[in-house]
Amino acid sequence: MTLIFTIVITEVTSVLSMQLGEKVPLGDESNPCISKSNRLPRKRFYRARAHSNPLSDSHFPVPISPQHFEYSLHYPHFSPTPDSCSSTKKIEFADVGCGFGGLLISLATLFPDKLMIGMELRDKVTEYVKERILALRVSNPGQYQNVSVVRSNSMKYIPNYFEKSQLSKMFFLFPDPHFKEKNHRRRVISPFLLDEYAYVIKPGGIIYTITDVEELGEWMKSCLENHPMFEPLTEEELEADPVVKLLSCATEEGQKVTRNEGQTFKAVYRRIVLND
């Protein structure tokens, strides 16, 4: 019994130390990781490999269930008490493989009343996004309180974070193409993973994908096209959706493709509404 109690305490302590509520010395002029001009973290100190193996065993805290997610630590403005169950607001947007957080930062002010989270497997990149959000909260009082980030493996732990029909939007921007056929099982869009996404996206919710790799674009479109729980948006709906315009320009990868005058391939699908 003592051993179990010790393990639980250790796990809780680890979770708390990793959360967004952790203090960061933004005012420390001697900190080379912080820009003196805008007080934002310098990206060059948080560089990491472009991708991580999603099938490897990484060690980081994961909530036992969506009910155990610590809302008060990630969104203190919306959930001021430690009792996360008392908050009626839930996360609605999930950016899977959020990278350096460009899309999240853009969405935070476009949808200020929606809670959103980035999920990133690389530890240094996750730390950068966390510090970026904290710095933006300090320099823009009242803003960016609705956005947060966690280090996690979405291919394994989506059900640990989100309840059935909780999300209204999921984003998969410029994911790892995993070119070799033997590595296609590592792709974040697949028929099996779409079953999980269909579970956590509410009817009428939207899944957004984009890539600059044509073969991967066709793969993601084919997976969504052949899944019984998703249907494509019409051209008129795509034109009217302000989020679609951000897919190509909000992220570092998207900006790089634009600078190089490269092509992008989008697939935007809606979770179907079942008739009773």
**What residues are annotated to the active site?**
176
DSSP-assigned beta bridge partners for residue 209: 172, 267
CA distance 115 to 88: 11
120 assigned binding-site residue: yes
**Token pair in block for residue 94:** 């999930």
**Token pair in block for residue 272:** 């179907």
251 assigned binding-site residue: yes
Residue 175's H or E segment, with its range, is none
84 assigned binding-site residue: no
253 assigned binding-site residue: yes
CA distance 265 to 247: 10
Beta strands in the chain (DSSP E): 91-96, 115-120, 147-151, 167-173, 201-211, 230-232, 265-271
CA distance 79 to 91: 12
196 assigned binding-site residue: no
97 assigned binding-site residue: yes
CA distance 92 to 210: 20
252 assigned binding-site residue: yes
Q: Are 15 and 61 in contact, with CB atoms under 8 Å apart?
A: yes
Binding-site residues from annotation for S-adenosyl-L-methionine: 97, 120-121, 153-154, 173, 251-253
Binding-site residues from annotation: 97, 120-121, 153-154, 173, 251-253
